[in-house]
Chain A
């Protein structure tokens, strides 16, 4: 725990440094006028723009701490946006949206359950199972949407409060679950040493199942955010989300081999990537270079952390 705090502090400092650099650079770009980066509008934009990654990464954190991995989140999210849009289209008005959100959450949880059951019951590696369901989910999204973006009728999207509330809610729920509940502690135990956990009576199968359902639900909530932002269901949505979510989790200090990590680190990890993407965008750094820079930061963050831990007594 001591180490965790020390590490979280390090990541926070890294985030603060990146924010500082962006503030200076955006001020410089305005001929040393007010920095665009710290304007109200932009700070809200940063949070909005990394809300989907954060929500997916929160679910991913549970899965990874529990010793698994979920590559299907981007596809599940796309499938859920389509499910929401299809239901909302069939039932016009507010009930349609309510039913759509319900359908979206059910689809996400069901897909998570499917992932979990396949992994727990067959003992197949999570990497392979979720790689398969990644394709299945994306394919089903295309099928359900008939290959097209489904637009919501007569819905005004774009308000920033609901996506942010969902994000904060998911983060808080996952954090409280991991740090306060016995089941949360079982997740750490299962990921740390499955054998030891089993011997001490942890229902590891059910715990792992739960983490995948949580991840599916988080993807579904990400789909709700997508829908709130774009007013559409899109089978192409968030292709590659899984990689950014995993990156946020790892940059945030959760170990890929399971058993350790926390949600707050993941939030910092997602913010670091979100701030970089937003700031580089404000500076109109070409997209190709944005990828180079963000990728470099991910590698440096993880490598730096490994080296420091190796040197630590």
Chain B
């Protein structure tokens, strides 16, 4: 008995430590093809207020060390961010080290990575924080060491940062509310402006999840013919998307439109729709423009999604770091444009 137990536990440890956590993010099915990132100046259809400033031709006076710290590497979003940052760092001749925690939610591990970057005496930190508040103590240490911090993707809570005395150079992020509104409007129009709609939300309380919900609600307010059937969190996850939407469909079989705050949940919901034998009856809009979503876009199972250019966030982050270190003025906030992606744009 003890022997069996021993083997069982050792096997468990081996599996968990070697093979990843038992609840690994469900992103295994996403083969990430190398996409040529769009040139920096390309996607600027409308001149938004906080657009990427032109720093002129940046010529770093030395090969700065820049640390790019992300939430996880098992999400194609951050792989694209790293790709964009690496490319820009290559152009500028910088030494870029990019790291992430194994789990998107592991803020303590990410705080450790920040501490390590400080110990390495990097010249600047570009961070996509796992939590909008809990990373503040670690980033304060960077402030104390005189290392500038550039916030990308997920915004550090402004009030909490102010209370703690944390100084951030700038925030570079997508306009989540605008992106979600764009997707939701497209969805409601495709529904003919009438019928029951639902939403799968991200993790509640997280900045980008809340903003995407706000964008969805903004669009909803403009379509009087659309009735909201249900809105629940599926924690950004594929499996949860499947489960939660299966249950929603059971409760409201007449739903004809669904907005998901990310593509992972949308892919899960599409699975649920197929399992319920109703493909084609429910229009699904996603967010993130994942590689894995392209096939569904082409087949029409996914109506549309939002590209928020994580590669540009990475590239802008690196550019801002260099511009700052070269003594240039950096705007407090920089919005990366979002694009609506439909069948015609599928890769």
Binding site for B on A (CB under 8 A): 36, 39, 41-42, 45, 48-49, 52, 69, 125, 127, 147-149, 151, 153-154, 156-158, 226, 229-232, 234, 236-240, 243-244, 246-247, 250, 256-258, 277-278, 281-282, 284, 286-288, 291-292, 294-296, 298-299, 302
Given contacts A229-B137, A292-B18, contact A287 B115 (CB under 8 A): no
Contact with A along B106-122 (1 / 0, CB 8 A): 11100111011011110
Q: Give the distance in Å from the alpha carbon of A244 to the alpha carbon of B9 in the complex.
A: 12
Determine if B16 is an interface residue (Cβ-Cβ < 8 Å): yes
Cβ distance A29 to chain B, nearest Cβ, rounded Å: 9
**Contact status A45-B133, CB under 8 Å:** no
Q: Determine which of B8, B18, B138 lies in contact with A295 in the assembled complex, contact meaning CB atoms within 8 Å.
A: B18
**Contact status B103-A281, CB under 8 Å:** no
Determine if B29 is an interface residue (Cβ-Cβ < 8 Å): no
**Contact status B133-A151, CB under 8 Å:** yes
User: Which residues of A sit under 8 angstroms from B120, Cβ to Cβ?
Assistant: 36, 282
Q: Determine which of A240, A250, A298 lies in contact with B21 in the assembled complex, contact meaning CB atoms within 8 Å.
A: A240
Q: Give the distance in Å from the alpha carbon of A263 to the alpha carbon of B5 in the complex.
A: 22
Contact with A along B129-169 (1 / 0, CB 8 A): 00101101110110000000000000001001001100000
Binding site for A on B (CB under 8 A): 2-3, 5-6, 8-10, 12-14, 16-23, 73, 97-103, 105-108, 111-113, 115-116, 118-121, 131, 133-134, 136-138, 140-141, 157, 160, 163-164, 203-205, 233
Cβ distance A82 to chain B, nearest Cβ, rounded Å: 13
**Contact status A278-B233, CB under 8 Å:** no
**Contact status B17-A295, CB under 8 Å:** yes
Q: Give the distance in Å from the alpha carbon of A236 to the alpha carbon of B106 in the complex.
A: 8
Given contacts A237-B108, A244-B17, A287-B100, contact A158 B133 (CB under 8 A): no
Q: Give the distance in Å from the alpha carbon of A20 to the alpha carbon of B126 in the complex.
A: 30
Q: List 7 A-B contacts (CB under 8 A).
A: A48-B115, A125-B5, A147-B205, A247-B13, A257-B3, A284-B97, A298-B13
**Contact status A291-B17, CB under 8 Å:** yes
By beta carbon, the residue of chain A nearest B8 is A127
SS of B interface (majority):
helix
User: Which residues of B sit under 8 angstroms from A296, Cβ to Cβ?
Assistant: 18
Given contacts A156-B137, A156-B164, contact A294 B6 (CB under 8 A): no
By beta carbon, the residue of chain A nearest B163 is A154
Q: Give the distance in Å from the alpha carbon of A298 to the alpha carbon of B285 in the complex.
A: 45
User: Which residues of B sit under 8 angstroms from A36, Cβ to Cβ?
Assistant: 119-121
Q: Which of B20, B22, B138, B205 has the most CB of A within 10 A?
A: B205
**Contact status A226-B115, CB under 8 Å:** no
Cβ distance A223 to chain B, nearest Cβ, rounded Å: 12
User: Which residues of A sit under 8 angstroms from B106, Cβ to Cβ?
Assistant: 236, 239
Q: Determine which of B13, B16, B116, B136 lies in contact with A281 in the assembled complex, contact meaning CB atoms within 8 Å.
A: B116
User: Which residues of A sit under 8 angstroms from B138, Cβ to Cβ?
Assistant: 158
**Contact status A231-B134, CB under 8 Å:** yes
User: Which residues of A sit under 8 angstroms from B2, Cβ to Cβ?
Assistant: 256-258
Q: Give the distance in Å from the alpha carbon of A238 to the alpha carbon of B103 in the complex.
A: 10
Given contacts A41-B118, A42-B119, contact A281 B17 (CB under 8 A): no
**Contact status B116-A282, CB under 8 Å:** yes
By beta carbon, the residue of chain B nearest A26 is B120
**Contact status A288-B73, CB under 8 Å:** yes
Q: Give the distance in Å from the alpha carbon of A153 to the alpha carbon of B18 in the complex.
A: 38
Q: Give the distance in Å from the alpha carbon of A158 to the alpha carbon of B8 in the complex.
A: 38
Cβ distance B98 to chain A, nearest Cβ, rounded Å: 7
**Contact status B108-A226, CB under 8 Å:** yes
**Contact status B73-A52, CB under 8 Å:** no
